[in-house]
Chain A
C-alpha cells in the first residue's frame, strides 16, 4: 500500500516536473512548479526529513514560487521573442540525449551505493549531549557545522546586496518594490489585519521548538517574512527605504552576533564557534534569536526586490 502510494507520488512529481519544463505558458509552468514543490514536501516526509520538509514547504515551494509567479506576470510580454529563439529539432534531440545520459549515470550510481550505507548518525548521537539541544539537525547546524550556517546567512546577505546593486542610480536608497494600493475595506486588508498575529505566533513557535524538535529559525523566519509581505501587499505598511541605518543594522545584526559568539568561543572554549560547557544551549538560542529578525528581513526584502522609487512614500 505504502509502496503504491510512493510510486504514485513519484509519478506525480515527475509529471509535474515535465510540465514545468514543457508547458507553453511560463505562468502555467510556474504554477506546476509550485504544486511540484508542495509534493516534494511529502517526499521529505517519506524520507524522514521533517526539518527539510518544513524548509522545502516554506522556502522551496513558498518563497521561490512567489518569486517566480511575480516574475512570470511581469515578463508576459517577452514570451514571443523567446519562442522565436527556440532551438531546432537536432539541438533538442541532442539535449535530450545528454540529459538522459546524465540520468542513466546517476541512476547507476544510486543502484551501486554501498551497503551498509555510510552514516554519521552514530557520531552525531554520541556527541549530541555536548551541544545540549534535543534536535540532531540543530546540533549539526549550530554546533558541528556552525560555520556553514554562518556562511548561509552571509550568502543570503550577498544575494540581497546583489539585488540592491541593480537599483537604477536615481532610486538608490529608495524603497524597494512598487507602491501598493490600499483599500481599507478590501479583503486583502482584512486578511492582513487578521493573519499576522496568528502568523507571528506560529513563526515564533516553530523557531522556539527548533532546538529540540523539527523546526528552527529559517522555517520560522519564512513565516514571519510572509506575514510582513502580506502587510506590505495590502498596503498597510510600505517597504522601508534601503538607506535607513536601522534597516541595515538589523540586516547585519544576526551574522555579527553569530561571529561575536564564535569569538567568545575562541577565547573561552579554545576554538572559533566552540561553546563553553554548560553554555551551549543558551548560546545556540542566542544565535538563533539574533538571526531571526535578520533572516525575516532578508527573505522579505529579497521578494520585494530591487528599489524602483525614491524614498518618499
Chain B
C-alpha cells in the first residue's frame, strides 16, 4: 500500500509526459482533448500526494528501479514539494480552461500549429516542473531544468513574429548560460563528495572551497533562469510578447521552478555552507528587483509589459525570506519563514496567472493594450477588470490574501531577529505594488470619451478562470492558517491593520501619480527618477552587462561565503 502511494511521485511526472507522447501521435483536436483530460488526472495525483503527506507527516521517498542513492536516483516529496505540486496543478488546470478559447482546433479541421504546440508544451512544462519538485538528484534536476527551458522557450514565440522570436532566442541563450553554471557546480560537488543525491550531500558537505564555488555557481545559474534583478535581461520581452495563456504559464510557473531549486539548495543541500552575508546579498538583489521592477512597471505604456515588469518585482519578493530564515546559530533552518516564502510563491503563482489572463482578455477584446486608452473597459468587461483588481489586491497583500499572511510572518521574523531594514522593504514593497495596480485601475475606471469599441467578444469561461485564480490567491490565508502558528495574526481587521492597508493604497497612488509616464502632476524630480530607472534598466538588459553581472555575482557570492565562514 505504501509503495502505491509513493508511486504517485512517479505518476506526477509521468502523467503529463505520457499525455504529451500520446497526444503527439493523435494530433490536432484529439491531442487537445487528451491534454484537457490529463489536467484533472494530474490534479488528483497532486492532491493525493499532499493528502498522503499530511496523513503520514513524513517525507515520501521513491527509489527508482529499487536502487538506493548514491548509485540510484530517489524521488522525494516533502511539504515544500507537495505544496508546489498542488499549486502548479491548480494553476495549470485554470490555464487549461482559459486557453480553450484561444487555442482550439475545431474537430475535423486540419491540425493547426499554434493550438497543437500549445497543449503539448503545457503538458511538457507541467511534467518538467513536477520533476523539479520531486527529484532528489542534482543531475536529474539539471535535466529537469533543461526540459523546463526547452518547453518554455517555444511558448514565448508561438505567434511566430520576429519580435517574439528574438525574445525567445535571448531567453534560451541566457537560460543556457545559467544551466551551464548550475551543471558546473554539480560537477564540482560530485568531484568533492562523490554523490549527487541531495540528502546524502547534505550530510557530507562541509564549508570549504569546492562547496563555496559550487554554491555560488549553482545559485547564480538558477538566478539567471529565475530572472532575479539584475539578471532579468530576457524576461520583459518574453513574458509580454507571448500569447496570454503562455505568459501566464511562464510568469506564474516556469520561473518558480528555478526559484524552488535555489530554496532546495540553500535550505536542504548546503544550509551550513551558505552564510548570513550571502543571504543578505540575495535578499538585497530581491529588494532592488522590487524597486526597479515596480518603478519601470509604472513607466510602461502597454499593459502586458507592465505586468511583466511587475513579475520582476514579485520575483524579488521571493528572495526576501533568505536572511530571515537563519536561526540563532547562524544556520538556515526550515521554519515559519520558509512557510511564509512558500506562501508568497503560491500566492504570486495564482495572482500573476490571473493578472496575465485578465491582461490577455483586455488585449483580445480591444485589439491593443495601451494603458492610456483603457478608459471604459471596466464597464465593457467587468468580470475581467474584477479579476485584474483582485489579483492586484492579492499581490499587494490585502487582508485575507496569502501574501498578507506571508508578509506578517516575515515582518515577525524581521523584528524577531533585529533586521529592521527588511521591515522597511516589506512594507515599502506593498506600496510599490499598489502603485501599478492603482495606475491600471484608474485608467480602466475612467469614463471613455466615446463608446468602447470591442473587436472581439471574449469567452466567459476564460474570464471566470482568471477570476477563479485571483480569488484563490486572495483567500489563500484561510487555507494556510492551519500550519502557521496562530499568534502571527491576532486580528486582521484591527484598526492598525486597516490603517496600514490604507497607507499602502495612498502611497501607491502617490507613486503612480509621480512616476507614471503620463504624469499629469509633472513633478519634475519624480519624473526624472522614473526616467533614470528606465535607463538603468535598459542598460542592465543589454547582453554584455547582464552576462558580466552574472559572473560578477558568482564571484561575489563565492567571496561572501568564503569570508563569512566560521574560521
Contacts and interface: CB of A to CB of B under 8 A. Distances in A.
B519 interface: no
A151 B64 contact: no
Interface string B205-240: 000111001000000000000000000000000000
A78 interface: no
Contacts of B381: none
B461 interface: no
Given A154-B17, A270-B3, A98 B552 contact: yes
B65 interface: yes
Interface string A167-179: 1110011000000
B548 interface: yes
* Of listed A124, A151, A274, residue having the most chain B CB within 10 A: A151
Contact of A165 (B143, B154, B554): B154
A129 B146 CA distance: 33
Contacts of B555: 98, 101-102, 105
A266 to B, nearest CB: 7
A109 B209 contact: yes
Interface of B is mostly: helix
B273 to A, nearest CB: 14
B153 A273 contact: no
B191 interface: yes
A166 interface: yes
A87 B547 CA distance: 13
Contacts of A164: 117
Given A94-B548, A106-B213, A152-B143, A265 B14 contact: no
Interface string A121-165: 001100100000000000000011111100110110111011011
Contacts of A58: none
A36 to B, nearest CB: 17
A119 B192 CA distance: 10
Nearest to A94: B548
A2 to B, nearest CB: 23
B21 A255 contact: yes
Nearest to B143: A151
A173 B113 CA distance: 8
Contact of B147 (A98, A158, A255): A158
Contacts of B154: 161-162, 165-166
Nearest to B159: A169
A202 interface: no
A180 interface: no
Nearest to B73: A147
B3 to A, nearest CB: 7
A109 B72 contact: no
A164 B150 CA distance: 12
A31 to B, nearest CB: 22
B24 A248 contact: yes
A272 B25 CA distance: 24
A275 B67 CA distance: 11
Contact of A112 (B18, B146, B210): B210
B548 A95 contact: yes
A248 B65 contact: no
* Of listed A95, A98, A167, A168, residue having the most chain B CB within 10 A: A98
A155 B121 contact: no
Contacts of B73: 144-145, 147-148
A185 interface: no
* Of listed A119, A252, A271, residue having the most chain B CB within 10 A: A271
B494 interface: no
B160 A166 contact: yes
Contacts of B147: 151, 154-155, 158
B533 interface: no
Contacts of A275: 65
B188 interface: yes
Given A167-B113, A252-B21, A272-B64, A124 B558 contact: no
Interface in B550-565: 551-552, 554-555, 558
A272 B67 contact: no
Contact of A113 (B17, B111, B191, B558): B191
Interface in A80-109: 87, 91, 94-95, 98-99, 101-102, 105-106, 108-109
A144 B71 contact: yes
A50 interface: no
A38 interface: no
B551 A98 contact: yes
A157 B146 CA distance: 12
A162 B64 contact: no
Given A105-B213, A155-B147, A147 B65 contact: yes
Contacts of A106: 184, 213
A87 to B, nearest CB: 5
Given A102-B551, A169-B160, A161 B140 contact: no
A102 B17 CA distance: 37
A144 B65 contact: yes
A67 interface: no
Nearest to B18: A259
Contact of B71 (A123, A165, A243, A256): A123
B4 to A, nearest CB: 10
A271 B112 contact: no
A148 B555 CA distance: 31
A312 interface: no
Interface string B61-102: 011111100111100000000000000000000000000000
Contact of A87 (B139, B165, B544): B544
B526 interface: no
Interface in B137-160: 139-140, 143-144, 146-147, 150-151, 153-154, 157-158, 160
Q: Which 7 A-B pairs have the closest CB atoms?
A: A118-B194, A98-B551, A172-B113, A165-B117, A271-B66, A252-B21, A273-B65
12 contacts: A118-B192, A148-B73, A151-B131, A158-B150, A165-B158, A166-B160, A172-B113, A255-B17, A256-B21, A259-B17, A265-B65, A266-B10
Interface of B: 3, 7, 10, 14, 17-18, 21-22, 24-25, 27, 62-67, 70-73, 110-114, 117, 120-121, 124, 131, 139-140, 143-144, 146-147, 150-151, 153-154, 157-158, 160, 165, 184, 188, 190-195, 208-210, 213, 544, 547-548, 551-552, 554-555, 558
Given A147-B64, A274-B66, 7 more contacts: A118-B190, A158-B150, A161-B120, A165-B158, A243-B27, A252-B24, A270-B66
